[in-house]
């Protein structure tokens, strides 16, 4: 079953990565929302509904503008209104899966601060729901360190100075998943 899930995730991330590289966006939010729902169902079936609760709260806070408009209540558009629910989700999930809970919050904060695109954040949360724990976080950080060093070296060679690059996040996430699987194979 693990190989089937891995294959589905790699195929999905491969497709959205292609869009991210070519157009710097995905064609529709369903490309990330449907896998998020699938990952949530999978995580619930694995018995870890608390992490799904946190992901759901983060998704609701991200969509606070639409929720506010739908209910006609302007107060729902403020992030401070959602903080008690967000803290509750973090408090509950950090007890069962601390690294994954912090990662989900980190991915959401990166999107809120406009460091990441929405598809990048939702995709990272999706992968975090599928493979919660230290292995995904380590592979995610390792790939990002490799990308930062490589892009820094490229700019140093080409432009004789180090500068920050804006790179598509989904291919980097795909590389993280591939490294995750390689790491799991070698550690087993």
Residue-wise pLDDT tens digits, 29-41: 999 999 999 999 9
Residue recorded with tokens 């870890």: 48
- The DSSP output letter for 98 is H
Tokens of 143: 């790939």
pLDDT in tens, 83-128: 888 999 999 999 888 999 999 999 999 999 988 889 999 999 999 9
CA-to-CA separations, 87 to 8, 104, 127, in angstroms, rounded: 32, 13, 22
Tally Cβ neighbours within 10 Å of residue 12: 21
Least confident of 13-22, 158-167, 168-177: 158-167
pLDDT in tens, 3-15: 899 999 999 999 9
The answer to whether the beta carbons of residues 19 and 26 sit under 8 Å apart is: yes
pTM for the full model? Answer: 0.90
Residue recorded with tokens 């380590």: 138
The answer to whether the beta carbons of residues 14 and 113 sit under 8 Å apart is: no
């Amino acid at each position: 079953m693990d190989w089937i899930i891995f294959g589905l995730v790699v195929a999905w991330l491969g497709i959205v990565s292609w869009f991210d590289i070519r157009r710097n966006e995905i064609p529709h939010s369903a490309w990330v929302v449907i896998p998020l729902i699938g990952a949530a169902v999978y995580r619930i079936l694995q018995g870890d509904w608390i992490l799904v609760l946190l992901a759901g709260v983060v998704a609701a806070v991200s969509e606070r503008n639409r929720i506010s408009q739908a209910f006609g209540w302007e107060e729902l558009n403020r992030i401070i209104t959602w903080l008690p629910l967000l803290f509750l989700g973090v408090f509950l999930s950090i007890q069962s899966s601390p690294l994954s809970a912090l990662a989900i919050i980190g991915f959401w904060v990166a999107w809120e601060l406009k460091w990441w695109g929405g598809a990048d954040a939702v995709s990272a949360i999706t992968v975090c729901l599928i493979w919660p724990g230290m292995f995904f976080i380590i592979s995610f950080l390792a790939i990002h360190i490799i990308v930062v060093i490589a892009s820094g070296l490229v700019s140093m060679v080409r432009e004789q100075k180090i500068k920050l690059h804006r790179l598509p996040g989904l291919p980097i996430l795909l590389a993280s998943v591939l490294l995750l699987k390689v790491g799991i194979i070698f550690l087993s």
